[in-house]
C-alpha cells in the first residue's frame, strides 16, 4: 500500500470515528462548551466568511488575466468572463460584509483590495508562461470547488432541516446528524462557515512548486489551523454542533478533490487531442 493510500485510509477512518462519536455526544458537547457572549466568537461569526470570497476574488483575477495571455486557450472568452464575474461577485460580497461593520472598514477594504489586485495583475502580465499556466489551473480548481461547495451546502441545509443548538426550546427538539428532518426552515447542518474555511486547503496545491520545507508545511498547517479555529468557534457560539462542522469541512475537501480531478481530466484530454 502506498503512502497516499495509507493517508486516505487514515483520514476516512478518522472521519468515520468522529461521525460515530458526534452522533452519540453532539448535544452533550454543545451543552458543555457553548459560550455565546465571547466577543471573539462574535467577530469570527461576522467576518469568518470573508476568507474564501477574498481568495476567490484573486482566483478570478488569475483566471481572467492568464486566459488573456493564453491566446490558444480553449473557450478563452468564457474563462475571461467567468474570472471577471467571480472576482466582481466576490468583491461585492466582501464589500457588503465590510460595510455592515462600518464605512471606514469598507473604505480600507477597497483601498487594500485595489492595491493587491493591481500588484497581482502586474505580476501576472510579466510572469513566465509556465507560472501563469500553474496559477490558471489552481485558480480554476478553486473557482469550481467554491461552486461545488456552495451548491452542496445549500442543498444539504435545506433538506436536512436541523435546528441549531441556540434555537432549541427544549432538549426534545434536538435531532442527531444521521436523522434528516426534511424542509423545516432550520439550517444547522452542515456548517457553512466551516466549509468556507476548509476551502483554504486549496493552498496545498502549491506544495509541489514550493522549495522550502517550512513553506511546504505552512501550506498544510495554516488552512488546518484556520478551519479548526472556525469549527470550534461555531460550536462554542451555539450556531452548530460538532457534527455540523465536521461535515462542513468534509464537503469542501471533497469539492476540492472533485474540482481538481475535473480540471486535470480536461487538461489531459486537451493535451491528448493536441
Cis-peptide, bond into residue 190, ω within 30° of zero = yes
pTM more than 0.85: yes
How many helices (H) and strands (E) would you count in the chain?
9, 0
- State the Cα–Cα distance between residues 76 and 188, nearest whole angstrom: 40
* Residue entry with cell 464575474: 85
- State the Cα–Cα distance between residues 17 and 22, nearest whole angstrom: 9
Q: Length of the chain in residues, anyone? A: 274
Contact criterion met (CB below 8 Å) for 31 and 242: no
List the pLDDT tens digit at each of the 274 positions of the chain: 687 788 889 999 999 999 999 999 999 999 999 998 888 998 899 888 889 999 999 999 999 999 998 877 778 889 999 999 999 999 999 999 989 888 998 999 999 999 999 999 999 999 998 899 999 999 999 999 999 999 999 999 999 999 999 999 999 999 999 999 999 999 999 999 999 999 999 999 999 888 888 999 999 999 999 999 999 999 999 999 999 999 999 999 999 999 999 998 877 656 555 5
Amino acid at each position: 500500500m502506498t503512502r497516499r493510500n495509507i493517508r486516505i485510509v487514515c483520514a476516512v477512518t478518522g472521519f468515520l470515528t468522529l461521525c460515530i462519536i458526534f452522533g452519540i455526544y453532539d448535544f452533550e458537547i454543545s451543552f458543555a462548551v457553548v459560550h455565546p457572549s465571547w466577543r471573539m466568537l462574535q467577530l469570527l461569526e461576522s467576518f469568518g466568511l470573508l476568507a474564501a470570497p477574498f481568495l476567490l476574488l484573486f482566483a478570478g483575477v488569475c483566471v481572467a488575466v492568464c486566459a488573456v495571455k493564453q491566446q490558444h486557450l480553449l473557450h478563452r472568452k468564457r474563462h475571461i468572463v467567468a474570472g471577471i464575474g467571480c472576482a466582481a461577485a466576490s468583491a461585492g460580497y466582501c464589500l457588503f460584509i465590510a460595510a455592515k461593520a462600518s464605512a471606514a472598514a469598507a473604505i480600507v477594504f477597497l483601498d487594500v483590495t485595489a492595491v493587491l489586485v493591481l500588484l497581482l495583475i502586474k505580476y501576472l502580465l510579466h510572469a513566465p508562461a509556465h507560472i501563469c499556466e500553474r496559477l490558471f489551473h489552481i485558480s480554476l480548481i478553486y473557482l469550481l470547488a467554491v461552486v461545488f461547495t456552495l451548491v452542496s451546502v445549500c442543498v444539504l441545509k435545506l433538506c436536512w432541516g436541523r435546528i441549531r443548538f441556540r434555537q432549541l426550546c427544549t432538549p426534545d427538539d434536538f435531532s442527531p446528524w444521521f436523522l434528516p428532518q426534511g424542509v423545516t426552515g432550520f439550517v444547522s447542518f452542515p456548517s457553512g462557515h466551516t466549509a468556507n474555511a476548509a476551502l483554504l486547503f486549496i493552498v496545498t496545491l502549491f506544495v509541489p512548486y514550493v522549495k522550502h520545507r517550512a513553506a511546504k508545511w505552512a501550506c498544510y498547517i495554516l488552512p488546518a489551523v484556520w478551519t479548526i479555529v472556525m469549527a470550534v468557534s461555531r460550536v462554542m457560539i451555539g450556531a452548530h454542533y460538532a457534527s455540523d462542522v465536521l461535515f462542513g469541512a468534509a464537503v469542501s475537501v471533497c469539492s476540492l478533490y472533485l474540482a481538481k480531478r475535473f480540471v486535470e481530466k480536461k487538461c489531459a484530454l486537451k493535451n491528448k487531442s493536441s
